[in-house]
Amino acid sequence: MYGRELADVYEAIYRSRGKDWGEEAADVSRLITERRPGADSLLDVACGTGAHLEVFGERFATAEGLEIAEPMRRLAEQRLPGVTVHAGDMRDFSLGRSYAAVTCMFCAIGYLETVADMRSAVKSMAAHLEPGGVLVVEPWWFPENFIEGYVAGDLAREEDRTIARISHTTRKGRATRMEVRFTVGDAAGIQQFTEIDVLTLFTKDEYVSAFTDAGCSVEFLQDGPTGRGLFVGVREAG
């Protein structure tokens, strides 16, 4: 998951679907500063290629990333020279400092397998907040919103290559299994590869409980960047 082949086409294929990392990061930045005026530092957990982090860096005096997948982390470091991108697992990282805001975008938290894992991640993120700091988490689908057998298809055309993506998603218990097949054509020929993504259907109440038990207030904002909503919490002072 999130190997070199996927990292290479990741942004191109999602941009073809209309994803705008810059607009999303700007919107989240406004949510943060509305709840904590003067917020000047941010940690983007599961920062991927750094597409959100790039804009966060324009909005906050200090913006750092955390990413477990090395191919994605390397692309973020190349994109943002001089910006710290930590290697780490969202469930148990410890960076030795706190931030005015912590974000975890694009459903990355859904890749955790169990409720205990999700709770550990929220606890670790909240532990890196200053008192009054803001935590923003974009969830994967709730169980009642999942569509069994969902198929998606996308085509990205660039100057020197074309990328096709087709996915099929099924459910087994709390897990969703998304099989994603890519075809990439360029001057060297046509290459194909398959990614298997397994994401967990946590409930809204489970997220809310994780936030409150981590010492944060929490509100759920409908829709959000990808239609799945956003959880926004504020760490209690003291």
Do residues 120 and 35 both lie within one domain?
A: yes
Range of the domain at 169: 144-200
Number of domains in the chain: 2
Residue found by looking up tokens 């060297």 in the block: 188
What single-letter DSSP state applies at residue 222? S
Do residues 40 and 106 both lie within one domain?
A: yes
Do residues 25 and 127 both lie within one domain?
A: yes
Order of strands, sheet of 175-186, starting from the edge strand that comes earlier in the sequence: 150-157, 161-172, 175-186, 189-200
Q: What is the pLDDT of residues 145-182, one digit of tens each?
A: 999 999 999 999 999 999 999 999 999 999 999 999 99
Do residues 125 and 221 both lie within one domain?
A: yes
Q: What is the pLDDT of residues 109-137, one digit of tens each?
A: 999 999 999 999 999 999 999 999 999 99
Task: Tell me the pTM.
Answer: 0.97
Do residues 56 and 102 both lie within one domain?
A: yes
Q: How far apart are alpha carbons 25 and 171 in whole angstroms?
A: 30
Do residues 116 and 188 both lie within one domain?
A: no
**Residue 165: which of 149, 147, 179 has the closest Cα?**
179
Question: Which CATH number fits the domain that encloses residue 165?
Answer: 2.20.130.10
Do residues 107 and 193 both lie within one domain?
A: no
Using alpha carbons only, give the angle 138, 140, 144 rounded to the nearest 5 degrees. Answer: 125
Q: How far apart are alpha carbons 211 and 217 in whole angstroms?
A: 7
What single-letter DSSP state applies at residue 195? E
Question: Which CATH number fits the domain that encloses residue 10?
Answer: 3.40.50.150
Band of pLDDT at residue 2, cut at 50, 70 and 90: confident
Do residues 225 and 122 both lie within one domain?
A: yes
Do residues 132 and 178 both lie within one domain?
A: no
Do residues 77 and 154 both lie within one domain?
A: no
Alpha carbon separation from 60 to 26, 166, 234 (Å, rounded): 11, 37, 18
Do residues 210 and 187 both lie within one domain?
A: no
Do residues 133 and 58 both lie within one domain?
A: yes
Q: How far apart are alpha carbons 184 and 193 in whole angstroms?
A: 9
Q: How far apart are alpha carbons 52 and 65 in whole angstroms?
A: 10
Residues constituting the chain: 238
Q: What is the pLDDT of residues 35-78, one digit of tens each?
A: 999 999 999 999 999 999 999 999 999 999 999 999 999 999 99
